[in-house]
Amino acid sequence: MERAIRALQRDIRSGLNPVLDFKRNVLEVQHGQLFFMPSQFGSFVGVKVSTVAPKNPTVGKSRIQGIYILMDSVTLSPILVLDGQALTILRTPAVSASVADLLAPSRVDHLVIFGTGVQAWGHVLAMRAIRSIGRVTVVARDQGRGAELISRIQDSGLPARLGVADDVRNAQIIVCATTSRVPLFAGSLVANNSLTVAMGTHESHAREVDSHLMARSQIVVEDPSVAREETGDVVIPLEEGSIDGASLIAIRDIITGAVTVDLDRPRVFKSSGMPWEDLVIAAEIYREL
The pLDDT-based confidence of 137 (bands split at 50, 70, 90) is: very high
Contact 69, 37 (CB under 8 A): no
Average pLDDT for 253-273: 97
- What is the spatial distance between Cα 8 and Cα 6, in angstroms, rounded to a whole number? 5
Residues 6+ apart with CB under 8 A from 260: none
pLDDT value for 63: 85
| pLDDT over 90 at 233, yes or no | yes
Nearest 10 degrees: CA dihedral of 108, 114, 115, 120? -20
- Superfamily name and number for 95-275: NAD(P)-binding Rossmann-like Domain (3.40.50.720)
Q: How many CA atoms lie within 13 A of 1 on its CB side?
A: 18
**Residue pLDDT, tens place only, 1-49:** 999 999 999 999 999 999 999 988 889 999 999 999 999 999 999 999 9
- What is the spatial distance between Cα 61 and Cα 53, in angstroms, rounded to a whole number? 9
pLDDT value for 277: 98
Which one is predicted more confidently, 276 or 272?
276
Mean pLDDT, the chain, rounded, equals 96
The pLDDT-based confidence of 64 (bands split at 50, 70, 90) is: confident
Q: Where are the beta strands (DSSP E) in the chain?
A: 25-29, 32-41, 44-52, 64-72, 78-83, 108-114, 133-139, 160-162, 173-176, 195-198, 218-221, 249-250, 267-270
**Residue pLDDT, tens place only, 158-203:** 999 999 999 999 999 999 999 999 999 999 999 999 999 999 887 8
**Residue pLDDT, tens place only, 89-109:** 999 999 999 999 999 999 999
- % of the chain beyond a pLDDT of 70: 100
pLDDT value for 200: 86
- Superfamily name and number for 2-87+277-288: ornithine cyclodeaminase, domain 1 (3.30.1780.10)
Domain residue ranges in the chain: 2-87+277-288, 95-275
